Amino acid sequence: MFKKISILIPVYNEENTLIPLLKKVIDSDVYKLKKEIIIIDDCSTDSSLLVLNKLKKQYEEQLVINSHETNKGKGAALRTGLSLATGEIILIQDADLEYDPKDYPKLLKPILSGKADVVYGSRFRSSEEVRVLYFWHRVANGMLTLLSNMFTNLNLSDMETCYKVFRSEVIKQIHLKENRFGIEPELTAKVAKIKNVRVFEVGISYYGRTYEDGKKIGLRDAFRALYSIIKYNCFR
């Protein structure tokens, strides 16, 4: 019986998106589950933490806020969030408004219906709105997903997606090591190694940002993802 969902939100320099994002998360439909919203500020250099502290006063019962004293990366922030999470379901949400919490019902349905242990939200298996942006990002994402699938024997269309939802007993048995964006292929590799795990994928909307808007992922992260695919599928 599922009673609570823990929504993990890593934050780094997102002072302009936090208020509208949190409103969307608060208002989202999660099938009457109690929401535990865990926000991890990864040593932002803007006013993100100040904004979060103000939001904490407004949404005190639902918000858990943790801050890193040094910038460690998305993977490290997620590990912190997982250590604090108490829900039976755990959902990962980016803070940049590229992913819309209105998709929560679709993401949760396979788990709540007893069909899935893990659900990925795919930007490329979707009938929803998807902003058209960088061609070479799409090519790189497709190549990384293909390589990951070759090792894991999964047929995902979007391994790098932010939206990943887990039964808590599944993700909490995984020992995660990556500090930055290598966390996505590491999670996928280690999920695939769990015996009889049931992985589903659903289409989601996507409102990608430009670099002028604050997009952070780059070529260095693509190489780290490639390294992580090989490392966690072949050696760990």
Predicted confidence band at 216 (pLDDT cuts at 50, 70, 90)? low
What total number of domains does the chain contain? 1
**What confidence score (pLDDT) does residue 209 get?**
62
* CATH code (residue 176): 3.90.550.10
What are the structure tokens assigned to 135, written together?
């061609």
Which residues form the domain of 100?
4-234
pLDDT in tens, 152-201: 999 999 999 999 999 999 999 999 999 998 999 999 999 999 999 999 99
> Average of pLDDT values for 4-15?
97
Packing angle of the helix pair 74-84, 183-192 (nearest 10 deg) = 50
Predicted confidence band at 131 (pLDDT cuts at 50, 70, 90)? low
For residue 208, pLDDT beyond 70: yes
Question: Can you tell me the distance from the alpha carbon of 117 to that of 41, in angstroms, rounded to the nearest whole number?
Answer: 28
Kindly state the helix (H) or strand (E) to which residue 166 belongs, with its residue range. Answer: strand 164-167
Sequence-separated (6 or more) residues with CB below 8 Å from residue 203 = 106, 121, 122, 125, 126, 127, 128
Residue linked to tokens 């209105």: 102
Question: Can you tell me the distance from the alpha carbon of 146 to that of 135, in angstroms, rounded to the nearest whole number?
Answer: 17
Cβ pair 201, 157 in contact under 8 A: yes
Full-model pTM: 0.92
For residue 214, pLDDT beyond 60: no
For residue 230, pLDDT beyond 60: yes
- What's CA 187's distance to the chain center, in Å? 10
For residue 103, pLDDT beyond 80: yes
What are the structure tokens assigned to 203, written together?
């289409």
Helices assigned H by DSSP within 14-73: 18-27, 48-58
